[in-house]
Amino acid sequence: MWQIIGAGAIGCLWATNLLRDGQQVTLITRKNSQTQTLNYQDLQGKRTSFNCRLSTQLSNRDDPILVCVKAPQVKQALLQHRHNISEQQAIILMHNGMGTAEQVTKIFPHNPIICATTTNASLLNAELNIIQTGKGATYLGAFNEQGKSFSILANKLNSALDDTLWCEDIKQKLWLKLLINIAINPLTAIFKVNNGTLAKKHFQRQIAQMINEVMPVLEKEGLLFESHMLLITINNVIQATAANYSSMNRDIYFKRPTENEYISGYLLKKALQYNIETPLIRSLYEQIKEISHQVK
Ligand code: PAF
């Protein structure tokens, strides 16, 4: 059985696809819900409803926990369920940004910790009601030694949503997603534009500068990225999601906490550690912080 913490767009996307595949799911939500029905509209517009077990508590101390809350909520969400998590239970972290695995390891030093990143996209239309908006790939990989023997989990998830792969070098995949988020999210949030607007010359110059700033950090981290390829990848995402508003743009718009600390903030901590200047990334990070304070 899967226990999924977080009934947001990604948690519900996995829950519906796992249920459709005949796997058992308990969706762990913050408050008791009247309804036990998950409504799903796939990319072809086909609507399906699934009965799903909902609970405010983790109940099974063996099966894997898929954590789909946003990065700033991960630590608190797991702390809240701490007494229902056993040492051998695998914890999978799936969200934008980096830095939570380090936090979780401190709280659960013996547990297998697995990091995951996905380019599947969905929209939470209403409570327990999602629309799939994009088909992508999902990568999972071990964050610690204990996590290394859990590649079977990727097979189970792949059976529900294909293009899900176990990855020996998950760090490279996590960083790539981080770099995409560093380039797209703050600019779209500060300038209140959709992703596609970043194709404009003015923004392209800023994205190129950000890439220049991150390159020495990536080198120090032992990551193999080529700046030109990175720009192409970022622009492919901009094109593929042109009509969408980034998650940070939405968070600012709806006056919600952002993932700033786990996106640009994570990069800034690394840059500081290596004594590397990243002025544009810092300035955008500060601007997001400023706007977030204003909306509180
Ligand atoms: O955070 C987001 O919105 C997404 O990760 C991405 C890839 C930037 C597309 O909008």
CA distance 166 to 153: 8
Place 295 in a pLDDT band, splitting at 50, 70 and 90.
Answer: low
- Looking from the CA of residue 185, the nearest atom of ligand 1 is 8
Place 33 in a pLDDT band, splitting at 50, 70 and 90.
Answer: confident
CA distance 254 to 291: 12
The chain-wide mean pLDDT, for the chain, equals 95
Q: How far does the centroid of ligand 1 lie from the alpha carbon of residue 127, in Å?
A: 21
User: How large is the average pLDDT for residues 183-191?
Assistant: 98
User: How large is the average pLDDT for residues 38-52?
Assistant: 94
CA distance 216 to 103: 25
- Looking from the CA of residue 181, the nearest atom of ligand 1 is 8
CA distance 74 to 101: 9
Identify the pLDDT of residue 34: 67
Q: Which amino acid is at 172?
A: Q
CA distance 94 to 140: 9
Q: How far does the centroid of ligand 1 lie from the alpha carbon of residue 119, in Å?
A: 8
User: How large is the average pLDDT for residues 261-276?
Assistant: 98
Could you confirm whether 177 is annotated as catalytic? yes
237 lines ligand 1 (CB under 6 A): yes
Handedness of CA 134, 160, 179, 263 (dihedral sign): positive
Catalytic residue of the set 70, 173, 177, 270 = 177
pLDDT tens per residue across span 71-101 = 999 999 999 999 999 999 999 999 999 999 9
198 lines ligand 1 (CB under 6 A): no
- The domain locations on the chain are 2-167, 172-295
Nearest to 200 by CA among 242, 247, 233: 242
Domain 172-295: assigned CATH number = 1.10.1040.10
241 lines ligand 1 (CB under 6 A): yes
Q: For atom 6 of ligand 1, which residue has the closest CA?
A: 246
- To which CATH superfamily is domain 2-167 assigned? NAD(P)-binding Rossmann-like Domain (3.40.50.720)
247 lines ligand 1 (CB under 6 A): yes
184 lines ligand 1 (CB under 6 A): yes
